[in-house]
Amino acid sequence: MSYVAVSALSHPGLLRDKNEDSLVAGPWTLCATVTENPQTLVFPLGTPLVVAVADGLGGHPGGEVASALVARRFAALGPALGSEDAVRGAVASCNRAVYTAAEGGEDDGRGLAMMGTTVAGAVVLPKELLVFNVGDSRVFAAPRSGLRQVSVDDSPPLAPGQRTTSLVTQCLGGSPHYRAVVAHVTATPLSPGDRYLVCTDGLTDPVPEETIDAVLREHDDGRAAFELWKAAISAGGPDNITFALVRVADDD
């Protein structure tokens, strides 16, 4: 029987007072919490399985509220995400939900009017993977031949010599008035042995892709997740660090 192993970790890093990231893997969520030890979950390959991260916007109140809302909504919607159109609909639904929650927060004095979050993830189907994102959280294919980004950054062009930016050109919520989003959704064939990394920029900003690639070539699952976390912490841990490694396997 084919199965999907998901190894996940979420940590505030070394400089932030709190964790505004959230993560979903199937019905399981990590919302604004801390896990120094990677958690590995195993799911049968069959029913659509969503694995995604949401990175609450720094500098806006309520980032952790927005990211948790999106993670929990994807946990509820996940089993129905069997097509690209369904994924786009789920992202649009999350965007509307963030704005609705922000309006309610403004009314009750919580000051959440500008809260927002990025999202990036993958829906694992028996024969294909649906990759999606809004914002600058990322999804990478991680075959032994080398790391390859399959999501599309919603970021302004980088200046010469600039490797990263904290600016995003679209996100879920994050504006005083409702703005629709255009989710990037890509379908790719899937087979046993395939591996993917879903992560917030708390991993990719401080850790170069060649370092991430080297870790994933050497390790699998929980050990790989632990080594990626160590690399981000060794690089200063400037932001919340949240990611999931997805591996498709066959136990025949």
Query: What pLDDT shows up at residue 205?
Result: 95
The per-residue pLDDT for range 129-188, each reduced to its tens digit, is 999 999 999 999 999 889 999 999 998 787 776 667 778 999 999 998 999 999 999 999
Strand partners, 54: 22, 119
Maximum CA pair distance of the chain? 56
Query: What pLDDT shows up at residue 133?
Result: 98
User: How many residues are recorded in the chain?
Assistant: 252
CA neighbor of 100 nearest in space, from 125, 66, 145: 66
Q: Is 159 helix (H, G, I), strand (E, B) or coil?
A: coil
Task: Give the tokens for residue 154.
Answer: 């919603």
CA 53 to chain centre: 2
- What value does the mean pLDDT take over residues 189-197? 95
Kindly give, in sequence order, each residue whose CB lies less than 8 Å from that of residue 131, ignoring residues fewer than 6 positions away. 121, 122, 139, 150, 151, 184, 185, 186, 187, 188, 196
The per-residue pLDDT for range 95-113, each reduced to its tens digit, is 999 999 998 765 554 668 7
Q: How far is CA 186 from CA 85, 92, 152, 156, in A?
A: 11, 16, 10, 21
CA neighbor of 112 nearest in space, from 168, 72, 56: 56
Q: How confident is the model at residue 250 (pLDDT cuts 50, 70, 90)?
A: confident
Query: What pLDDT shows up at residue 17?
Result: 87
Question: What is the distance between the alpha carbons of residues 208 and 203, in angstroms, rounded to a whole number?
Answer: 9
Looking at the predicted structure, is the pLDDT value of residue 91 above 70? yes
Question: What is the distance between the alpha carbons of residues 39 and 36, in angstroms, rounded to a whole number?
Answer: 9
DSSP class of residue 249 equals E
Query: What pLDDT shows up at residue 106?
Result: 56
Chain position carrying tokens 């632990």: 226
Euclidean distance between the first and final Cα of the chain, in Å?
6
Question: What is the distance between the alpha carbons of residues 214 and 124, in angstroms, rounded to a whole number?
Answer: 25
**Average pLDDT of the residues of the chain:** 93
Chain position carrying tokens 């896990």: 35
* Total-model pTM: 0.94
Single-letter amino acid, residue 252? D
Kindly give, in sequence order, each residue whose CB lies less than 8 Å from that of residue 161, ignoring residues fewer than 6 positions away. none
- What value does the mean pLDDT take over residues 198-208? 96
Higher pLDDT, 113 or 8: 8
Task: Give the tokens for residue 178.
Answer: 């409702």
Burial of 25 (C-beta count, 10 Å sphere; 0-12/13-18/19+): buried
Query: What pLDDT shows up at residue 110?
Result: 61
Contact 22, 242 (CB under 8 A): yes
Looking at the predicted structure, is the pLDDT value of residue 1 above 90? no
Looking at the predicted structure, is the pLDDT value of residue 235 above 90? yes
